[in-house]
């Protein structure tokens, strides 16, 4: 034994997190799910998101044991229906108060939107609580205490501060909110904790913030000098491309910081995710979407060309002829456009899920190593299941977060 080991009386067991999910399986799942979502006008989403979580959870292996997601689509549906029943009267009250305020002064009801922001934050907290109680590892589930409203007002105040400081306070916002959420998360009788400091995230991400400010300033300057909108094409392109690079780096930095801050009792995680680790996934998404759109444009051009050349449509390939055709077959064209749009949207949805959900998850979790795992070898089960009401609110209010 050398000195180093002697200095550490408890050389805890460490293990890198593994991910065994296969992209092909996941692709099949979301392709089928997207079609079913289309047929059911979106009702299938409860079962699809359950299936997605099951695949992600069970593909994530910590210390040789995969995690397990025990939620069901039915729970999500019931949670959604309850949330709907609660939201309906709230919307009505919101409407009535809005009328009174508008009567007093035009546009006075705008601050009411803040209420829905707060409600959305509440929903985010409660949704995480549902997911935690459906997460099982080694026969013991996670659970969460804490109050959704206490979280909500904290989130609102921090958001306000972040807004006032033009995003500079964002790291501290993230850190404070995550501390609240992790403080109330438990694995059995092992309490969770978040050690990520706002300052650490600030140091890592400050150059991105600066880059953003420079981008915006440069863009504004160019937009002012070049008055012709056509000349703005290049700057806009640079802006978008640069923006995506910055975003990828930002996401990677935040993920790394977040994973490295997680502790349960004496077990702690560390992540070595590089800032450029997610670039390929995001650019693959953009590339595939561009390809799909290009294929779509080519297909439409071909259809128009064939339609113009066949005698069925008069064979007049003139602008006036096409306008006439469009006027005569309005519903046909409307239907064709709608179908085309839906197919396109579904493709984009599938691509985003494959790369940005499955891909990013796989990339992020394997960057983590769990330390001191022997301190999690005899954890007692605690905590009860909670309903999916929070998920329902998040769905009804269209907020995403985790």
List residues near other proteins by CB under 8 A: 20, 34, 36-45, 47, 51, 54, 57-59, 61, 65-66, 68-69, 73, 80, 84, 87-88, 91, 95, 99-100, 102-103, 105-107, 136-141, 188, 327, 330, 338, 341-342, 344-346, 348-349, 376-381, 395-396, 398
Tell me the closest approach of the beta carbon of residue 144 to other proteins, in angstroms: 17
* Concatenated DSSP letters of 283-308: HHHHHHHHHHHHHHHHHHHHHHHHHH
Looking at the Cβ atoms of 153 and 330, the one nearer to other proteins is: 330
Tell me the closest approach of the beta carbon of residue 17 to other proteins, in angstroms: 12
Distance CA(196)–CA(174), nearest Å, equals 9
Looking at the Cβ atoms of 39 and 216, the one nearer to other proteins is: 39
Q: Using an 8 Å Cβ cutoff, are 135 and 69 in contact?
A: yes
Looking at the Cβ atoms of 198 and 396, the one nearer to other proteins is: 396
Tell me the closest approach of the beta carbon of residue 365 to other proteins, in angstroms: 13
Q: Using an 8 Å Cβ cutoff, are 374 and 265 in contact?
A: no
Distance CA(179)–CA(154), nearest Å, equals 11
Tell me the closest approach of the beta carbon of residue 180 to other proteins, in angstroms: 25
* Residue 240 structure tokens: 């978008």
Q: Using an 8 Å Cβ cutoff, are 196 and 261 in contact?
A: yes
Tell me the closest approach of the beta carbon of residue 190 to other proteins, in angstroms: 9
The residue to which tokens 């259809």 are assigned: 303
Tell me the closest approach of the beta carbon of residue 31 to other proteins, in angstroms: 12
Looking at the Cβ atoms of 142 and 258, the one nearer to other proteins is: 142
Task: Give the phi and the psi of residue 401 in degrees, each rounded to 5.
Answer: 170, 170
Looking at the Cβ atoms of 44 and 255, the one nearer to other proteins is: 44
Segment holding 136, helix H or strand E: strand 135-137
Q: Using an 8 Å Cβ cutoff, are 15 and 64 in contact?
A: yes
The residue to which tokens 């979580």 are assigned: 53
Q: Using an 8 Å Cβ cutoff, are 126 and 152 in contact?
A: no
* Closest CA relative to residue 271, chosen from 254, 246, 285, 250: 254
The residue to which tokens 């996941």 are assigned: 26
Are β-strands 185-187 and 262-264 bridged in parallel, bridged antiparallel, or unpaired? unpaired
* Residue 309 structure tokens: 């050349």
Q: Using an 8 Å Cβ cutoff, are 57 and 68 in contact?
A: yes
Looking at the Cβ atoms of 51 and 174, the one nearer to other proteins is: 51
Looking at the Cβ atoms of 300 and 343, the one nearer to other proteins is: 343
Tell me the closest approach of the beta carbon of residue 192 to other proteins, in angstroms: 15
Tell me the closest approach of the beta carbon of residue 316 to other proteins, in angstroms: 18
Tell me the closest approach of the beta carbon of residue 376 to other proteins, in angstroms: 7
Q: Using an 8 Å Cβ cutoff, are 214 and 226 in contact?
A: no
Distance CA(372)–CA(240), nearest Å, equals 43
* Residue 23 structure tokens: 């992209």
Looking at the Cβ atoms of 213 and 339, the one nearer to other proteins is: 339
Looking at the Cβ atoms of 14 and 58, the one nearer to other proteins is: 58
């Amino acid at each position: 034994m050398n000195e180093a080991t002697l200095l550490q009386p408890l050389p805890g067991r460490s293990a890198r997190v593994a991910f065994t999910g296969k992209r092909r399986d996941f692709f099949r799942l979301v392709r089928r799910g997207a079609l079913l979502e289309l047929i059911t006008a979106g009702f299938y989403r409860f079962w699809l998101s359950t299936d997605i979580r099951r695949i992600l959870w069970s593909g994530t292996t910590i210390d040789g044991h995969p995690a397990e997601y025990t939620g069901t689509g039915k729970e999500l549906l019931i949670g959604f229906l309850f949330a709907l029943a609660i939201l309906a009267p709230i919307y009505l009250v919101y409407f009535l108060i809005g009328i009174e305020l508008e009567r007093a002064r035009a546009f006075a009801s705008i601050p009411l939107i803040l209420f829905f922001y707060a409600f959305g934050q509440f929903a985010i907290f409660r949704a995480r609580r549902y997911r935690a109680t459906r997460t099982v590892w080694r026969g013991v589930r996670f659970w969460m205490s804490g109050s959704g409203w206490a979280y909500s007002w904290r989130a609102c105040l921090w958001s306000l501060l972040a807004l006032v400081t033009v995003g500079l306070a964002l790291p501290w916002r993230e850190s404070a909110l995550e501390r609240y959420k992790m403080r109330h998360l438990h694995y059995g009788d092992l309490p969770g904790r978040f050690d990520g400091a706002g300052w650490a995230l600030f140091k890592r991400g400050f150059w991105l913030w600066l880059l953003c400010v420079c981008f915006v300033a440069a863009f504004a300057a160019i937009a002012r000098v070049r008055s012709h909108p056509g000349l703005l094409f290049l700057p806009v392109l640079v802006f978008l491309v640069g923006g995506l690079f910055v975003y990828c780096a930002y996401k990677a930095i935040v993920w790394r910081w977040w994973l490295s801050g997680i502790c349960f009792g004496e077990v702690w995680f560390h992540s070595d995710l590089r800032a450029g680790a997610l670039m390929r996934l995001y650019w693959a998404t953009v590339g595939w979407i561009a390809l799909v759109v290009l294929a779509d444009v080519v297909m439409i051009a071909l259809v128009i060309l064939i339609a113009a050349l066949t005698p069925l449509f008069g064979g007049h390939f003139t602008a006036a002829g096409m306008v006439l055709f469009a006027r005569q077959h309005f519903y046909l064209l409307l239907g064709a456009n709608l179908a085309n749009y839906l197919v396109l949207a579904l493709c984009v949805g599938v691509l985003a899920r494959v790369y940005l959900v499955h891909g990013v998850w796989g990339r992020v979790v394997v960057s983590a190593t769990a330390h001191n795992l022997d301190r999690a070898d005899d954890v007692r089960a605690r905590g009860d299941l909670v309903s999916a009401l929070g998920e329902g609110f998040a769905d009804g209010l269209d907020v995403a977060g985790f």
